[in-house]
């Protein structure tokens, strides 16, 4: 009977073994083919075109159309809502918030479930050993495990060491969220500064473009007439050449001005999220109310040390480094863990196929006794380095504030000087036009006077831009920015009202 059963089992086992070998060979062959088939796949033109089209559609959907003229407040508001680089900073802050939320779940116990299936081609037959002779007893072999069985379990595990590390990680992620917020503030300060500066340069382009183009045309006509007179030898050769030299120099200056003005409009369109190359009508304020700075420098220094984004970021970085020291100390402690599980095994030879088990364990890595002191020293050195950076940054912030004050005072002087020069040059240009009409002056004098007046007007707009840039630098040093909350939750008009207060208060 045992021999027949053995033959039957041997036959079935042979079939199962052959089937298993065939499946294994097929899996191995498919794995090799798949691995060898991997190769670089460059983007096709159609795929790249689809990506570009999708991105452009998303950009246009998030952009508010421009209708009418744009004030400085609206330009800054559009930049904050639509500038893609600034939106990237907002995404980084959202990512940090998501990492903080995810790290909170790491402090919870681990609830693990698993299920499996086991198969073997031969029975797990165990032999017995004679207790007297120590020889195998082949007369009473036994089967201890089923050839095919299913298993499943669900278990709860909690480690004090993992909980402590996760707690400190969550605290670090909370500080990293605050670091991301300070970096967003810095990006906001820089964006507002760039918009305020570029706005006045672009405004100069709109106010002076027609005048520059007409003056270039007049200079070209005067240059053509001079060359004709030189060819006809109406005057001495040297006089027309000097005349042409002055005209060419004026043309060079005008072309440089025209190039600079054209670039400013493109830069402003990029900053406010408009399509590059689009024409934007800007509104020039009726008057300027630039004020002298407060003489209370100590108060400004106190505000800067409390609110400066760079300094606050460094304080948070120091806190992150300090927590890293606590984590290094925690890893030196023994780990105490608790486990509880509910398990199932489909082995038919088991009497109890379902059972519960619980336990606790204490583990300690003895090599921590060797590496622990070095880890603690490294963490403490990191804290010391961050503290040194923080103190150095305090001095840098104060220097930045005093430099911004100096730049503002200097820009204000240059602005007042530019007004006086522009008034004089405009009067000279008007006088040159009057003299040409009364035939007391020539076209060269009129063109030269117009060029000088244009350059003076351009310097006036640039001086206004420099004053606005200096104001933004002071506000960045002091950590001043509008309290706007979430940009997605505020309308463009409400954001303009909040920015109006910031831009009007100056400093």
User: Going by DSSP bridges, is the β-strand pair 354-363/148-159 parallel, antiparallel, or unpaired?
Assistant: unpaired
Q: What is the pLDDT of residues 400-420, one digit of tens each?
A: 999 999 998 999 898 889 888
Asked whether the predicted pLDDT for residue 342 surpasses 90, the reply is yes
Of 188 and 8, more confident: 188
> What are the residues whose beta carbons fall under 8 Å from the beta carbon of 432, sequence distance 6 or more?
441, 445, 446, 448, 449, 450
User: Is the model's pLDDT at 124 over the cut of 90?
Assistant: no
Does the predicted TM-score (pTM) go above 0.95? no
Q: Over 80: is that where the pLDDT of 8 sits? A: no
Compute the distance between CA of residue 237 and CA of residue 351 in angstroms, rounded to an integer.
122
**β pairing state of 110-119 and 148-159:** antiparallel
Q: How confident is the model at residue 107 (pLDDT cuts 50, 70, 90)?
A: confident
Cβ-Cβ contacts under 8 Å for 482 (sequence gap 6 or more): 495, 498, 499, 501, 502
Q: What is the reported pLDDT for 506?
A: 53
User: Distance from CA of residue 129 to its chain's centroid?
Assistant: 72
The CATH number of the structural domain formed by 71-109+159-336+365-505 is: 1.20.1600.10
Q: Which residue has the higher pLDDT, 18 or 376?
A: 376
Beta bridge partners of 356: 342
Task: At 350, give phi and psi (nearest 5°).
Answer: -80, 140
Phi, psi of 112 (to 5 degrees): -110, 140
User: What per-residue confidence (pLDDT) applies to 22?
Assistant: 64
Residues above pLDDT 90, as percent of the chain: 6
Confidence of residue 4 (pLDDT cuts 50, 70, 90): very low
Give the C-alpha separation, 82 to 278, whole Å: 15
- Average pLDDT of the segment spanning 479-499: 79
Contact 173, 100 (CB under 8 A): yes
Q: With contact defined as beta carbons under 8 Å apart, do 474 and 408 qualify?
A: yes
Structure token pair of residue 268:
């402003």
- The domains of the chain are located at 71-109+159-336+365-505
Q: What is the pLDDT of residues 157-190, one digit of tens each?
A: 988 888 888 899 999 999 999 998 898 888 888 8
Q: Is the pLDDT of residue 451 over 70?
A: yes
What's the rounded Cα separation, in Å, for the pair 471 and 199? 14
Q: How confident is the model at residue 154 (pLDDT cuts 50, 70, 90)?
A: very high
Q: Quickly tell me which residue has 């790491």 as its tokens.
A: 106
Residue 7: predicted pLDDT: 39
* Range with lowest mean pLDDT among 86-95, 272-281, 433-442: 433-442
Q: What is the mean pLDDT of residues 444-472?
A: 83
341, containing H or E segment: strand 335-345
What per-residue confidence (pLDDT) applies to 9?
Answer: 38
Residue 2: the pLDDT is 32
Among the listed residues 444, 464, 462, 455, the one whose alpha carbon sits nearest the alpha carbon of residue 257 = 455
What spatial distance separates the first Cα and last Cα of the chain, rounded to whole Å? 104
Task: Summarize the chain as % helix, strand, coil (round to 5).
Answer: 70, 10, 20
The percentage of the chain sitting over the pLDDT mark of 70, rounded to a whole number, equals 83
- The whole-number pLDDT of residue 338 equals 92
Q: Given this model, what pLDDT does residue 354 score? A: 92
Residue 336 CA to residue 321 CA, distance in Å, equals: 26
Q: Residue 326, exposed/middle/buried by CB under 10 A (0-12, 13-18, 19+)?
A: middle
Whose tokens are 């790249």? That residue is 48
Q: Is the pLDDT of residue 13 over 50?
A: no
Of residues 99 and 276, which shows the higher confidence score? 99
Give counts: helices (H), strands (E), the chain. Answer: 11, 6
Q: Does 37 have pLDDT greater than 70?
A: no
Average per-residue pLDDT in the chain? 80
Residue 16 pLDDT exceeds 50 = no
The CA-atom distances, in angstroms, between 349 and each of 124, 144, 146, 148, 151 are 11, 7, 7, 11, 14
Per mean pLDDT, which of 232-241, 276-285, 314-323 is the most reliable? 314-323
Tokens of 38: 């991997």
Q: Which of 13-17, 24-28, 191-195 has the lowest mean pLDDT?
A: 13-17
pLDDT at res. 12: 46
Answer yes or no: is pLDDT of 31 > 60: yes
pLDDT at 498: 79
What's the confidence (pLDDT) of residue 6? 39
- Out of 127-141, 195-209, 447-461, the most confident range is 195-209
169 in Cβ contact with 103 (< 8 Å): yes
Cα dihedral sign for 494, 499, 504, 507?
A: positive
């Amino acid at each position: 009977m045992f021999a027949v059963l053995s033959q039957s089992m041997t036959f079935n086992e042979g079939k199962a073994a052959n089937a298993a070998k065939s499946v294994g060979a097929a899996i191995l062959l498919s794995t090799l083919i798949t691995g060898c088939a991997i190769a670089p796949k460059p983007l096709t033109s159609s795929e790249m075109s689809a990506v570009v089209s999708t991105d452009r559609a998303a950009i246009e959907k998030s952009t508010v159309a421009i209708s009418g003229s744009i004030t400085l407040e609206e330009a800054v508001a559009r930049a904050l809502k639509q500038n893609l680089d600034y939106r990237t900073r907002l995404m980084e802050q959202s990512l940090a918030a998501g990492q903080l939320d995810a790290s909170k779940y790491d402090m919870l116990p681990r609830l693990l479930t698993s299920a499996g299936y086991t198969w073997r081609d031969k029975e797990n037959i165990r032999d017995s050993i004679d207790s007297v002779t120590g020889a195998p007893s082949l007369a009473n072999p036994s089967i201890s495990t089923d050839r095919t069985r299913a298993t499943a379990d669900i278990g709860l595990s909690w480690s004090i060491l993992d909980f402590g590390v996760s707690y400190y990680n969550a605290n670090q992620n909370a500080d990293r969220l605050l670091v991301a917020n300070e970096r967003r503030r810095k990006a906001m300060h820089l964006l507002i500064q760039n918009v305020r500066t570029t706005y006045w340069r672009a405004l100069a382009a709109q106010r002076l473009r027609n005048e520059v183009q007409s003056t270039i045309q007049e200079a070209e006509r005067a240059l053509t007439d001079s060359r004709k007179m030189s060819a006809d030898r109406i005057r001495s050769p040297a006089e027309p050449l000097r005349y042409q030299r002055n005209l060419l120099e004026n043309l060079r200056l005008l072309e440089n001005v025209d190039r600079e003005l054209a670039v400013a409009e493109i830069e402003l369109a990029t900053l406010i999220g408009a399509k590059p190359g689009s024409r934007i009508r800007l509104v020039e304020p009726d008057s300027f109310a630039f004020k002298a700075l407060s003489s209370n420098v100590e108060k400004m220094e106190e505000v800067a040390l409390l609110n400066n984004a760079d300094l606050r970021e460094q304080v948070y970085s120091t806190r992150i480094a300090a927590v890293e020291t606590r984590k290094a100390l925690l890893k030196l402690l023994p780990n105490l863990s608790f486990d509880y599980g509910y398990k199932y095994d489909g082995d038919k030879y088991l009497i109890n196929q379902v059972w519960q088990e619980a336990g606790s364990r204490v583990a300690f890595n003895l090599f921590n006794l060797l590496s622990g002191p070095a880890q603690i020293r490294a963490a403490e050195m990191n804290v010391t380095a961050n503290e040194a950076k923080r103190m150095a940054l305090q001095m840098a912030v104060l220097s930045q504030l005093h430099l911004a004050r100096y730049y503002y005072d200097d820009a204000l002087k240059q602005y007042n000087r530019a007004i006086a020069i522009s008034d004089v040059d405009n009067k000279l240009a008007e006088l040159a036009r009057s003299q040409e009409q009364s035939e007391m002056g020539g076209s060269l004098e009129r063109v030269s006077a117009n060029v000088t007046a244009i350059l003076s007007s351009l310097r006036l707009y640039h001086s206004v831009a420099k004053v606005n840039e200096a104001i933004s630098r002071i506000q960045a040093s002091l950590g001043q920015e509008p309290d706007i909350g979430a940009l997605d939750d505020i309308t463009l008009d409400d954001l303009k009202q909040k920015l109006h207060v910031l831009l009007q208060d100056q400093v």
